[in-house]
Structure 1
Amino acid sequence: MEELDNTMIGRGRDAIDMIIDKDSFQENIIDGYSFDPDYGPGSVVGTAKLNGKPTTIIANDAMAFNDRFPVVFGGVIGLEEGYKMATAVYRTMEADKDKPLPEKRAIVLIVDTPGNGPGKMEEIAGMNKSTGGYQLALAEARKAGHPIVAMVIGRAISGAFLCHGLQADHILALSKDFGTMIHVMPLTSIARITKMDIERLEELSTSNPVFAAGVDFFYKLGGVQEIVNQVEDMREVIIRHIDEVAKLKAEGKGELLGPWGRGILGNERGGRTHRMEAIAKVNAEFTAVADKYINA
């Protein structure tokens, strides 16, 4: 077990037990709705109590293997997994649709994914619709008032992080000491796309967080709200951020949450200093020509 003490990669189910109230997790159950346990085995969904309150849990199971889609293993989010996760979100919204804002249950995302399933069958069957549907579900739940907190315990990479994490109100991450990895794509892939030399990209990655990977760089960008330095602190930090998010939503300050809030935070931390200037220029250019297109 000593080797597991230094990382949480592949331990999504362990993370659930560390975070929730003891023995409170009901897997594949959300407000009376039951999920087929054989469908989307790479995803773990269900209801738990967190600090005494009902909470929806959505996680990766990096130890699972999907026999129907062999590319889905090691935490990969595939076609079935995306739909299962999206359904969990919509079932949560349905369960609380008539409840006042303070009673909207939180959604906790436990993130440990190396990416999406890139198989030919997944692409033909519409994996992009599956993962896009999950991303949309989280955005709708966030705007409907559900506090959404993502906890990165291992890998948060590529398009899988787009759907399973980046739509959260707040994103937390274990420190790099646990082997936690966050990046959009490796520098080798960026080099092929941009036609820039890998040496130049490596140089840029030492000072420019846009090209760099890792928890610390994403913190500077505002992509990570808080870095958690001890596994034992995950539960306490998640509960605190759920309360912070709920308070901001109750005060009508939704612009400080989610993707927009991360942009503001990145500007404050010096990681995205040109963002607001670029937005202002785009808005000015749009305003200058809007009359030619709107109601034309």
Structure 2
Amino acid sequence: MDTLIGQGLVALEMIVDPGSFQRDRVGAKEFTDESYGPGAVVGTATLDGQTVTVIASDAEAFNEKFPVVYAGIIGMEEGYKMASAVYATLAADVDKPAAQKRPLVLIVDTPGNGPGKVEEIFGMNKATGAYQLALAEARMAGHPIVAAVVGRAISGAFLCHGLQADRIVALDAKFGTMIHVMPLTSVSRIIKKNIEVLEELSKSNPVFAAGPQFFYQLGGVEALVPEIEGLRGAVIEQVAALRAAKAKGEATGPVGRAALGAARGGRVTRPQVAARMTAEFAAVADKYRPHA
């Protein structure tokens, strides 16, 4: 096997314990309408013996109600379905101590969101925002969340299905793995820079470059997985590491990635900007802080 692009369900079965995946069931919630958000695959499995919630995209599914949702695109219904699976996970473990909260495993292979006109009018941004919020709530409640990038992790779909995880692992670029928030053509139009200038910058600057190796330098990817067979072990390792990190109160998620990026030399300016903003806010905070 030379790539897992378009094979999110294959990756899912490779990562979880053999034969353990129960589709469309998370905690007490059953997803019975097969026509609702067909591109979103949710369910329960075991990973190294412990119960986990699994969320993935099905590149072979097609949402007949929204023609732009195909090939793993996360549309409005898919976003709500994924969010519902996260909230069902929270509900299932609400009374458990943090050390026993079930992990969430996100299998990431998506070319983006489905920005169809109808979906935009109905609330595409609310659906993806709901999914991001759900993952953030689960992360802060103590659930270890690991995203495994096995193919494409692009644009707004990666923002909601991946970047809110505690830790992200990614297959090596030799398998065709692609990570970027925006293609250089779009960046060029927005910041009014020639594409040739951006292409040159992308050779050395991880902010403009695309690919798992550059996101590793930025701290966005915790670990690169050199071979497909190592995916399962990498996810198990990160879940265990997250249990320990959360018990110690260490930063994970977006905050943890920012610190990691600075340590790896990929985000050297960000800490300086953040420190200056904090200092400037502290200087005027009393003027705006409500008083009893």
With the length of structure 2 as denominator, give the TM-score of the two structures.
Answer: 0.98
Contact 2:27 2:92 in 1 (8 A): yes
Residue 32 of structure 1, CA deviation? 2.9
Within 5 A, what are the aligned runs for 1:107-186?
A: 107-186=104-183
The answer for the alignment partner of 2:186 in structure 1 is: 189
Q: How many residues align?
A: 290
Query: Post-superposition, which runs of at least 4 consecutive aligned residues in structure 1 deviate over 3 A?
Result: none
Q: Deviations over 1:88-117 (max 9, x none)?
A: 000000000000111100000000001000
Matched, 1:7 2:3: yes
- Alignment-mate amino acid for residue 14 of structure 2: M
Residue 129 of structure 1, CA deviation? 0.2
| C-alpha distance in structure 2 between counterparts of 1:295 and 1:150, whole Å | 40
| C-alpha distance in structure 1 between counterparts of 2:188 and 2:26, whole Å | 44
| C-alpha distance in structure 1 between counterparts of 2:16 and 2:34, whole Å | 21
Within 5 A, what are the aligned runs for 1:36-75?
A: 36-75=33-72
1:31 to 27, 31, 35: 27
Matched, 1:230 2:227: yes
CA RMSD, aligned part only?
A: 0.8
With the length of structure 1 as denominator, give the TM-score of the two structures.
Answer: 0.97
- Alignment-mate amino acid for residue 27 of structure 1: R
Matched, 1:265 2:260: yes
| C-alpha distance in structure 1 between counterparts of 2:134 and 2:290, whole Å | 31
- Alignment-mate amino acid for residue 83 of structure 1: Y
SS of residue in 2 equivalent to 1:57: strand
Residue 38 of structure 1, CA deviation? 2.0
| C-alpha distance in structure 2 between counterparts of 1:131 and 1:281, whole Å | 32
Unaligned runs of 5+ in 1: none
The answer for the alignment partner of 1:293 in structure 2 is: 288
| C-alpha distance in structure 1 between counterparts of 2:258 and 2:41, whole Å | 30
Matched, 1:22 2:23: no
| C-alpha distance in structure 2 between counterparts of 1:273 and 1:112, whole Å | 29
- Alignment-mate amino acid for residue 181 of structure 1: M
- Alignment-mate amino acid for residue 25 of structure 1: F
The answer for the alignment partner of 1:212 in structure 2 is: 209
Share of identical aligned residues, percent? 62
| C-alpha distance in structure 1 between counterparts of 2:246 and 2:77, whole Å | 32
